[in-house]
Amino acid sequence: MMATSSEQPSASQDATPRSRKRIMSMARQVTQVNGLHLSDGQQPFEQNSLDERREFEKLRDLAHDLPEYHACGDFWALACLRARKYDLARTLELMKSFDAWRTRLQLLERNYHTDAELQALIKLGVVEPTGQRDVVGHYVLVLRMAKADPKRFTPDDAIRNIYAALEYLYRRYPEAQSAGVAVLVDQRGASLKNMDTAVPRILFKALANHVPCRFGGLYTVDPPLFMRMLLPVAKLLLKRKLRDRLHVLRNVEDLLKYFQASNLLEDFGGTMASEHDVYLECVSSLQAREPYASADKDDSADNCSLASENDSMVSCAASEPDPIASMPEDDDNAGEPTAAATVSLV
């Protein structure tokens, strides 16, 4: 999915699919998204609350002897619990599936420091995690399709890239674990050669079955001509709940219907600055420590910090804190979550 070309194609260079049969075939491929867990703005418990602490303790009691629990660690175990709305049986299933998925894709072994191609892909900025939130409250991953080149990077490379971005998003903005994640596909300057229909198919399958994520929606901006033919057909093949979350926008100005300007990057017409450089520093630091495989690493990012929900700073390089330790205690004085509780989950 992912690389840059020395020259950006113009819209006139698009190899537009001419036959209805081909358009229908492509539409079926990109709409194989059964089983996505949709965000609905409703969670049984507030993050970092006493009730959430109790549910997490129940999960620990059930899972303490399971290898997948130890492989995931408390950070991802809690993300799984939130993604499955505190249903313990479904959380255990997701943890097992998530661990097997990470193992199969070698997400810990092939990381920023051991895989030069993945490092190049992350630096390229095809996937950009940001603090952007749509008006519903979903956090946003940006995909910049004009930088993509499936001839260089495989679909599995693309998924490893997205995994790194999602981990950063969850650690810097923990509320995204409950609020849900939307995808903003920037197709300005993109052409058919930037597209790989295997990537969305693999990605949505992962989101449905393996990754702790509640899907918020998809915004696609300024699609090329062939995509303008494809997307209306694709929408017809989706179930209504998913169809309502697919927004096809002719230009960036239309994003202001779904985002406040203060929650939109500057190159989309908003006022938010890019945090790509911060992301690069932090993913380097995160993947330079356990459980990621070791290699010759650049220590320059060891002081990288991630902002927590209450604007405290938590070092990426520090050992992962105990999510339970800083949650409210189960006593008569327990009430609102403390600032320390929020920090511990980053």
Can you tell me which residue has the tokens 């409950």?
A: 178
CB 233 within 8 A of CB 24: yes
How confident is the model over 49-74, as a mean pLDDT? Answer: 96
Strand 313-315 to strand 305-307: parallel, antiparallel, or no bridges (unpaired)? Answer: antiparallel
For residue 5, the one-letter residue type is S
**What does the block give as tokens for 199?**
């990537």
**Three-state SS for 323?**
coil
Spatial distance between the Cα atoms of 283 and 277, rounded to a whole number of angstroms: 10
Confidence (pLDDT) at 248: 87
Confidence (pLDDT) at 296: 59
CB 305 within 8 A of CB 297: no
Spatial distance between the Cα atoms of 247 and 237, rounded to a whole number of angstroms: 15
Cross-strand partners of 181: 139, 215
Q: For 184-206, write each residue's pLDDT tens digit.
A: 999 999 988 898 888 888 888 88
**What does the block give as tokens for 136?**
């519903």
Spatial distance between the Cα atoms of 53 and 343, rounded to a whole number of angstroms: 14
Confidence (pLDDT) at 10: 40
Confidence (pLDDT) at 246: 83
User: Which of 8-17, 68-77, 119-128, 249-258 bottoms out in mean pLDDT, i.e. has the lowest?
Assistant: 8-17
Q: What is the 3-state secondary structure (H, E, C) of 50-96?
A: HHHHHHHHHHHHHHCCCHHHHHHHHHHHHHHHHHCCCCHHHHHHHHH
Integer-rounded Cα radius of gyration of the chain:
20
Q: Is 41 left (phi over 0), alpha (psi -120 to 50) or beta?
A: left
Spatial distance between the Cα atoms of 68 and 290, rounded to a whole number of angstroms: 16
CB 264 within 8 A of CB 255: yes
DSSP code at position 193: G
Give rounded-to-5 percent helix, strand, coil for the chain: 45, 10, 45
User: Which of 145-149, 245-249, 263-267 bottoms out in mean pLDDT, i.e. has the lowest?
Assistant: 245-249
Sheet holding 181-186, edge to edge: 127-133, 139-144, 181-186, 215-221, 246-249
Biggest CA-to-CA distance, the chain: 69
Task: Return all residues near 304 (Cβ < 8 A) that are at least 6 apart.
Answer: 278, 281, 282, 284, 285, 315, 316, 317
- Residue 44 or residue 336, greater confidence: 44
Q: For 19-60, write each residue's pLDDT tens digit.
A: 555 544 554 554 455 566 667 777 889 999 999 999 999 999
Task: Return all residues near 172 (Cβ < 8 A) that are at least 6 apart.
Answer: 129, 131, 282, 306, 307, 346
